[in-house]
Structure 1
Amino acid sequence: METIYSDLKQLGGKTELPETPEQAVLERVANPQADVSYCVRFTAPEFTSLCPMTGQPDFAHIVIDYVPDQWLVESKSLKLFLGAFRNHGAFHEDCTVSIARRLVELLSPRWLRIGGYWYPRGGIPIDVFWQTGAMPADVWIPDQGVPPYRGRG
């Protein structure tokens, strides 16, 4: 029986963590509620990547909000994509915006924003924010709920 989930390749089985974000396969499914505007939130409180200069790990709390149109991101593929950054060397700004742009390319959402709340490097936390445009007026979109840095936790 054919369903909107029939084309998924990673869900329901063992899938290896991709070696790089570029190798990660993000999957999408048709949005069965495409006639309704609503917000979807993904939170990755233990995101890691590598400093491109030192190779040391960097840690972030990533919050992704989006208002879907015709497509939803499949969450296991998103987890694998985010996990692929753990051996990827890039600055905080590049990691954060790259995640958002890849999702926009895949989903063509009505709206998307990302907050990358990075833990201190050299004593300075670097928070990175990006969104596709003005926040939709007809959708309740809560605050991302991550306080300004004061010993985040």
Structure 2
Amino acid sequence: MSENIYQDLKQLGANTALPDDPDTAELERVKNPQADVDYNVRFVAPEFTSLCPMTGQPDFAHLVIDYVPGEWLVESKSLKLYLGSFRNHGAFHEDCTITIARRIAEFTEAKWLRIGGYWYPRGGIPIDVFYQTGEMPKGVWIPDQGVPPYRGRG
């Protein structure tokens, strides 16, 4: 019988409350059963929210996270809860975006990761934040993130 790579997951399939903040949110990972091949995994969070640390007003972003896994995959429900934990967290756009990228990359020991944080305007200025851990890997299909620059209502 093969090893159950999902046996240590605590959140998937359970009634799990949204964490209060990103520092207490628990990411979970599972062994990558296809670790012998490089491929891209994309997560899209089109309704990401956090709070402005100065005004407490909500900020909204469309996040696109691409990563090439090594031995580990991030479990998607734990990622959803982690991203949701920013809902009441006050930080600037740049800090939120880079914090998310660095935590996922470090936790999964990803071979490569990039994030596009496409923030909706507040005060009339959209702020887009981009980060990647290094050179894009050769031989892996990594499509364009497909998010056009903000153009307003046309």
1:43-62 deviation line (CA, Å, top 9, x unaligned): 00000000000000000000
The CA distance in 1 between the partners of 2:87 and 2:152, in whole Å, is: 23
Unaligned runs of 5+ in 1: none
Give the aligned residue type for 2:97. T
The CA distance in 2 between the partners of 1:123 and 1:39, in whole Å, is: 34
The CA distance in 2 between the partners of 1:58 and 1:119, in whole Å, is: 7
The CA distance in 2 between the partners of 1:132 and 1:151, in whole Å, is: 31
The CA distance in 1 between the partners of 2:106 and 2:135, in whole Å, is: 18
The CA distance in 2 between the partners of 1:66 and 1:151, in whole Å, is: 30
The CA distance in 2 between the partners of 1:118 and 1:69, in whole Å, is: 29
Matched, 1:74 2:69: no
Matched, 1:36 2:41: no
3-state DSSP class of the match of 1:76?
Answer: helix
What is the aligned partner in structure 1 of residue 8 from structure 2?
Answer: 7
The CA distance in 2 between the partners of 1:149 and 1:28, in whole Å, is: 34
Unaligned runs of 5+ in 2: none
What percent of counterpart residues are identical?
A: 79
Matched, 1:130 2:128: no
The CA distance in 1 between the partners of 2:122 and 2:113, in whole Å, is: 27
3-state DSSP class of the match of 2:20?
Answer: coil
The CA distance in 2 between the partners of 1:151 and 1:33, in whole Å, is: 42
Give the aligned residue type for 1:99. I
The CA distance in 2 between the partners of 1:141 and 1:104, in whole Å, is: 17
The CA distance in 1 between the partners of 2:152 and 2:135, in whole Å, is: 31
Matched, 1:23 2:24: yes
1:53-97 deviation line (CA, Å, top 9, x unaligned): 000000000000000000000000000000000000000000000
3-state DSSP class of the match of 1:128?
Answer: strand
What is the aligned partner in structure 1 of residue 65 from structure 2?
Answer: 64
| CA RMSD after TM alignment | 1.0
The CA distance in 2 between the partners of 1:110 and 1:21, in whole Å, is: 23
Task: Give the number of equivalent residue pairs.
Answer: 152
Give the aligned residue type for 2:101. A
Residue 151 of structure 1 and its aligned partner are, at CA, apart by: 2.4
The CA distance in 1 between the partners of 2:61 and 2:29, in whole Å, is: 25
Give the aligned residue type for 2:69. P
Give the aligned residue type for 2:149. P
1:121-145 deviation line (CA, Å, top 9, x unaligned): 1100000000000001110000000
The CA distance in 2 between the partners of 1:132 and 1:37, in whole Å, is: 16
Give the aligned residue type for 2:108. L
Residue 111 of structure 1 and its aligned partner are, at CA, apart by: 0.4
